[in-house]
Amino acid sequence: MRICEAIRLYRTMSFQENLQMPIYEFKCKKCGNIFETLFYSMQEKRQVACPACQSKKTARLMSMFGGGTGKSAAGGGGSACSATSCSPG
């Protein structure tokens, strides 16, 4: 994205949308590399190339995230389980 495009996008979005710059996780279909890419907004759509092999055959993965619920899950890291609700795998 060129600078002028980024400025235009910034000006057309609300202040709240500008605060949301998601990091998406991708997997390369060619070499299997898993990597993250920063997007400028949640509405941004673009093709992402693998940093390892430069292939554009990539797929966005479903990533775990940490939510702000105010409670700490056992083990942390965005887990939805508590120490009493999950059995060891």
Residue 76 covered by a domain: no
Percent pLDDT > 70 in the chain is 49
In a domain, 83, yes or no: no
Domain of residue 29 covers: 3-60
Query: Model pTM?
Result: 0.52
Report yes or no on 27 lying in a domain: yes
Amino acid 28: pLDDT = 98
Residues 27-42 have pLDDT tens digits of 999 999 999 999 988 8
Give the pLDDT confidence score for residue 20 in this predicted structure. Answer: 75
CATH number for the domain spanning 10: value is: 2.20.28
Instruction: Indicate the number of domains in the chain.
Output: 1
Please check whether residue 80 lies inside any domain of the structure.
no
CA distance 52 to 73: 34
